[in-house]
Amino acid sequence: MPGVWEILVMATFLLTGLVAGFNALYFATQSWASRRKRVGALVLVLVNAGILVQSLGLGLVLFRLQTGTASWVWLAAEALVCLGTVLVTLLILRSWLAPRR
């Protein structure tokens, strides 16, 4: 049975994976006018796809092992990645909701 740390770490991995997938999909499906923006979008697709694979992969490994190895260090490390990824998602959502100027 997973402990509190394992549950928190797995939840953070899952949230990070979900928002990274959303971000990657957003940047992959937008049509960017300039070459510079297309290159930037490609980089963001790759970064978010990597975060998605890492988060869900590590989360599944941790879940399968259930060795009690999750600690505040795991949680802190994943929480930083999660925070950055969620902030990118919030910027995307803000751009959808903000009126065009």
Q: Residue 12: give the domain boundaries.
A: 4-95
* Residue 101 is assigned to a structural domain of this protein: no
Q: Tell me, what's the pLDDT at 2? A: 66
pTM of the full structure: 0.82
The verdict on residue 26 lying in a domain is: yes
Let me know if residue 25 belongs to a domain.
Answer: yes
Tokens at residue 79, please?
Answer: 């929480």
Among 50, 70, 56, residue whose Cα is nearest residue 6? 70
User: Is 91 domain-assigned?
Assistant: yes
pLDDT given at position 67: 59
Would you state the torsion angle of the CA atoms of residues 69, 66, 5, 1, taken in this order, to the nearest 10 degrees? -140
Look at the chain and report how many structural domains it folds into: 1
Alpha-carbon distance of 67 to 21, in angstroms, equals 28
Is 30 within the bounds of a domain?
yes
Task: Check residue 31 and give its pLDDT.
Answer: 86
CA distances from 75 to 10, 14, 30 (A): 9, 12, 33
Q: Has residue 16 been placed in a domain?
A: yes
In a domain, 100, yes or no: no
Per-residue pLDDT of the chain (101 residues; tens, 9 = 90+): 667 777 888 889 899 999 999 999 999 998 888 999 999 999 999 999 999 998 888 777 766 666 556 667 777 888 999 999 999 999 999 988 987 76
Q: Which two tokens stand for residue 74?
A: 């795991």
Distance of alpha carbon 56 from alpha carbon 42, whole angstroms? 21
